[in-house]
Amino acid sequence: MSTMDPATSPAARPEPSVGMPTHQKAIFVVLLILLVALPWFVYPVFAMKVMCFALFASAFNLLLGFGGLLSFGHAAYFGMASYVAAHAAKVWGLTPELAVLAGTAAAALLGLAIGSLAIRRQGIYFAMVTLAFAQMVYFFALQAEFTGGEDGIQSVPRNDLFGLIPLESNMALYFFVLVVTFGGILFIHRIIHSPFGQVLKAIRENEPRAVSLGYRVNRYKLMVFTLSATLAGLAGAVKSQVFQLASLTDVHWTMSGEVVLMTLLGGMGTVFGPMLGAAIIVTMQNYFATLGAWVTVIQGVIFVAGVLLFREGIVGLIARWTKKPL
Amino acid sequence: MVRKTALGSVAAAALVAAPVMAQDAIDVTLGVLNDRSGIYADLSGEGSVIAAQMAVEDFMAEDKGLNVEILSADHQNKPDVASNIARQWYDQDGVDAILDVPTSSAALAVADITAEMGGAFINSGAGSTELTRGQCQPTTVHWTYDTAALAIGTGGAMTDADTSWFFLTADYAFGHSLEEETSRVVEEAGGEVVGTVRHPFPATDFSSFLLQAQGSGANVIGLANAGGDTVNAIKQASEFGITQAGQSLAALLMFVTDVHALGAQTAQGLVLTEAFYWDLNDATREWSARFEERHGSKPTMVHAGVYSGTMHYLRGVEATGSTDGETVVEWMKANPFDDPLFGQGYVREDGRAIHDMYLFEVKTPEESTGEWDLYNLLATIPAEEAFLPMEGGGCEFVEAAG
């Protein structure tokens, strides 16, 4: 994964090295306005789900699109954080922000541990190592007492935010989720456009050259891996508060696959692509729910069409047309 | 959501003829939420929607002033999808009751949301005993079966004083609880558990486990696993000729569609417990024939449970004139049912529907006269013995009331 054809990664094209380009700023502002208005137009729980997955996919994209590392085990961090956050809110009675922090911290530690081993390998070996660890986490979740096996952790209470603000209503929760996930995505954006992010891109494009320039490549890789796992965990932790449950679905390998699909469909290595990809996939899962088996078939067809027709993903394609990094 | 309007509005003629019913029709919206694309699609899926429609038609809801509409959706066995759809149904689509919902984690999520939103939840597809025990809700009715009932049926009815059991257990919480529950029943019945082997979940190669089971000399080999694991284990047991050699094979969670898929040749001699079989009596045969005409295959116990549960729910709506979940479920508990498919029974205080269960043995290919002629009835487990007792079940609202 360390050397990639520049044609497939639109972010590789020249762009302002550090700081946020104006048009991206504008898009973020428009996006925020849309998101604030959204719950009056679509069902808030659904909108919250889309935002959680948008953050999850963006976190994954940080690793794949900017670090050039394809992880097949991101469900581990997403799912483990959702278990820990659910447990913290239900059994320890923590307030939502603390429960989410606990979940995120668990994902960070897990990411650090798995990352420190996985980054020693490259390419397909790296992907397989992350998959293997994710399966270990899955079996842990299946067996451990506190996760409730296949029943999952259910009826997680929606405690008061900071012990003060009730989150019982979907609207109140929506704005909590909006702040957290939007903050997470802005943080990712900041990472990408920091000097650290520039070094990451350099490593992605040509690792030996980055080494020869004196960068400690492994430290950068471990850092981005842990950041990505942490932010994926943040998404999972928030999701457990939204749905008031944590279950095996979130740690299952299909979840790792889904996030890859979201990222590739939307546009790997773009800022807005993963969010769009997440929105498309989640919308399909919900609104095509009556079509039965066709949900998976349509997902597959879209993926194949995406790979054949627009390999840069939807946003990648738009970025090429408009000649602006998105 | 696909809307299938089962019935139109009340005919003017009916209003004239029956002035008692001259009040406005009650709108009832039912949501069938289950797996329509994954491993449970055959045993629930579209068949459950058809079963619910048949219940509405057979109840003659139209003549009784009920305006029933049925929605359906696929939860893809994901509790978050199930929870999202359930909320949306209650909030935006005016759904009054959710039916079916296989997969424990999804069912438990829907049970919570239903209680919160004032709907009713008539579960047929899920097996978790938690629905009526630790995580019970006053708006939940668990109609068809649970894993404990299967354990009691198979473990109890197959065991007498000198029966020995050997368990092949899937190594996760579900398998452990199935094994534990069955062992308890076996030992209470005077039998003995001579050994157990845990296999990883999911597993494809069962040969070494089956050899251990065979070598144990136990009378009964209990398969404490589910789905693909059970099917694989049965296929390999058939290759080893385990049942032909005199040992019995007991599946602790299996449906008629699984047996049908395996065929009588492979599954012969297998013993299992179900709440319903199409060929039990005239009433079940008649209903199943009508079902087959519309769905193309015989009903499973889950389909039958959706039908009967919907029927009893509609009776409750008619009697109380309300679609408030708690009110209707209270009525359902207060009034016993006499059902063509499940016989006489009642809904217990904790939401558990109490009815007979049946122990079946899969026929040999020689005995079987058709592709769906699969079971011999070995024993009927009377309703009172078929389920775990309510006492000590840990259902909070029951214990608070008692």
| Claim to verify: residue B257 and residue B173 sit in the same structural domain | yes
Distances (CA, A) of A166 to A96, A157, A197, A306, A325: 10, 11, 38, 43, 40
Task: Establish if A41 touches chain B: CB-CB under 8 angstroms.
Answer: no
Q: What is the pLDDT of residues B354-394, one digit of tens each?
A: 999 999 999 999 999 999 999 999 999 999 999 999 988 88
DSSP string, A169-230: SHHHHHHHHHHHHHHHHHHHHHHHTSHHHHHHHHHHH-HHHHHHTT--HHHHHHHHHHHHHH
pLDDT at A296: 76
- Class of domain A21-322 (CATH, top level): mainly alpha
Of the candidates B85, B172, B173, the beta carbon closest to that of A289 is on: B85
Say whether pLDDT at A2 is over 60.
Answer: no
Any domain includes B114: yes
Which chain B residues touch A142 with a CB distance below 8 Å?
172-173, 201
- Between A30-39, A306-315, B139-148, the lowest mean confidence (pLDDT) is in A306-315
Give the containing element (helix H, strand E) for B353. strand B353-354
Structure tokens at A108: 């960070």
How close B97 gets to chain A, by Cα (Å)?
A: 17
Task: Establish if A4 touches chain B: CB-CB under 8 angstroms.
Answer: no
| Claim to verify: residue B222 and residue B318 sit in the same structural domain | no
How close A112 gets to chain B, by Cα (Å)?
A: 28
Of the candidates B45, B105, B171, the beta carbon closest to that of A152 is on: B105
* pTM score, whole prediction: 0.84
- Mutation target to probe the B interface, by most B beta carbons within 10 A, among A151, A153, A177 is A151
Of the candidates B79, B84, B109, the beta carbon closest to that of A49 is on: B84
Any domain includes B151: no
Q: Do A249 and B77 touch (CB under 8 A)?
A: yes
| Type of residue at A133 | F
| Claim to verify: residue B219 and residue B102 sit in the same structural domain | no
Which chain A residues touch B77 with a CB distance below 8 Å?
249
- Maximum alpha-carbon separation in chain A: 56
Any domain includes B150: no
Q: Where along chain A do its domains lie?
A: 21-322
Rounded to the nearest integer, the mean pLDDT of chain B is 89
How close B193 gets to chain A, by Cα (Å)?
A: 23
3-state SS, residue A92: coil
| Claim to verify: residue B110 and residue B8 sit in the same structural domain | yes
Q: What is the pLDDT of residues B233-270, one digit of tens each?
A: 999 999 998 888 889 999 999 999 999 999 999 999 99
Which chain B residues touch A291 with a CB distance below 8 Å?
74
DSSP string, A257-316: HHHHHHHHHH-TT-SSHHHHHHHHHHHHHHHTGGGTTHHHHHHHHHHHHHHHH-TTHHHH
Say whether pLDDT at A274 is over 90.
Answer: yes
CA B119 vs. chain centroid, Å, equals 20
**DSSP code of A12?**
G
Name which of B47, B13, B30 is nearest B94 in CA terms.
Answer: B30
| Claim to verify: residue B100 and residue B205 sit in the same structural domain | no
| Claim to verify: residue B89 and residue B238 sit in the same structural domain | no
| Claim to verify: residue B176 and residue B136 sit in the same structural domain | no
Of the candidates B75, B83, B105, the beta carbon closest to that of A248 is on: B105
| Claim to verify: residue B221 and residue B324 sit in the same structural domain | no
| Type of residue at B114 | T
Q: Do B174 and A248 touch (CB under 8 A)?
A: no
3-state SS, residue B170: strand
Any domain includes B396: no
Q: Do A152 and B79 touch (CB under 8 A)?
A: yes
| Type of residue at B231 | V
Any domain includes B301: yes
| pLDDT band of A91, cuts 50, 70, 90 | very high
Q: Do B2 and A290 touch (CB under 8 A)?
A: yes
C-beta of residue A42 within 8 angstroms of C-beta of residue A231: no
CA geometry: angle A203, A181, A246, nearest 5 deg: 100
Order of strands, sheet of B220-224, starting from the edge strand that comes earlier in the sequence: B192-199, B164-170, B220-224, B248-251, B270-274, B357-362, B375-381
Q: Do A46 and B84 touch (CB under 8 A)?
A: yes
Task: Establish if A266 touches chain B: CB-CB under 8 angstroms.
Answer: no
| Claim to verify: residue B65 and residue B133 sit in the same structural domain | yes
Q: Do B85 and A151 touch (CB under 8 A)?
A: no
- Residue-number span of the structural domain to which B205 is assigned: 159-274+358-381
Q: Do B83 and A290 touch (CB under 8 A)?
A: no
Q: Do B80 and A239 touch (CB under 8 A)?
A: yes
Of the candidates A143, A150, A244, the beta carbon closest to that of B105 is on: A150
CA dist., res. B333 & res. B320, Å (int): 13
How close B376 gets to chain A, by Cα (Å)?
A: 32
Q: Do B105 and A45 touch (CB under 8 A)?
A: no
How close A288 gets to chain B, by Cα (Å)?
A: 8
Name which of B386, B318, B400, B392 is nearest B346 in CA terms.
Answer: B386
| Claim to verify: residue B232 and residue B299 sit in the same structural domain | no
Of the candidates B72, B104, B171, the beta carbon closest to that of A290 is on: B72
Any domain includes B285: yes
pLDDT at A297: 83
Q: Provide the ipTM.
A: 0.78
Helix axes B45-59, B282-295, angle to 10 degrees: 120
- Mutation target to probe the B interface, by most B beta carbons within 10 A, among A48, A90, A154, A294 is A154
Q: Return the residue of A nearest to B79 by Cα.
A: A247
C-beta of residue B307 within 8 angstroms of C-beta of residue B287: yes
Task: Establish if A149 touches chain B: CB-CB under 8 angstroms.
Answer: yes
A64-71 average pLDDT score? 92
| Claim to verify: residue B285 and residue B251 sit in the same structural domain | no
Structure tokens at A285: 């899962």
**DSSP code of B139?**
T
Rounded to the nearest integer, the mean pLDDT of chain A is 88
CA dist., res. A271 & res. B50, Å (int): 46
Q: Return the residue of A nearest to B75 by Cα.
A: A289
CATH of residue B73 = 3.40.50.2300
Other residues' Cβ atoms within 10 Å of the Cβ of residue A295: 22
- Between A288-302, B45-59, B164-178, the lowest mean confidence (pLDDT) is in A288-302
Which chain A residues touch B172 with a CB distance below 8 Å?
142-143, 149-150
Of the candidates B74, B84, B92, the beta carbon closest to that of A292 is on: B74
Q: What is the pLDDT of residues A140-168, one digit of tens each?
A: 998 888 888 878 898 888 888 888 888 88
| Total structural domains within chain B | 2
| Claim to verify: residue B265 and residue B323 sit in the same structural domain | no
- Between A40-54, B21-35, B327-341, the lowest mean confidence (pLDDT) is in B21-35
Any domain includes B394: no
Tokens 């694309």 sit at which residue?
Answer: B37
Which chain B residues touch A243 with a CB distance below 8 Å?
79-80, 83-84, 109
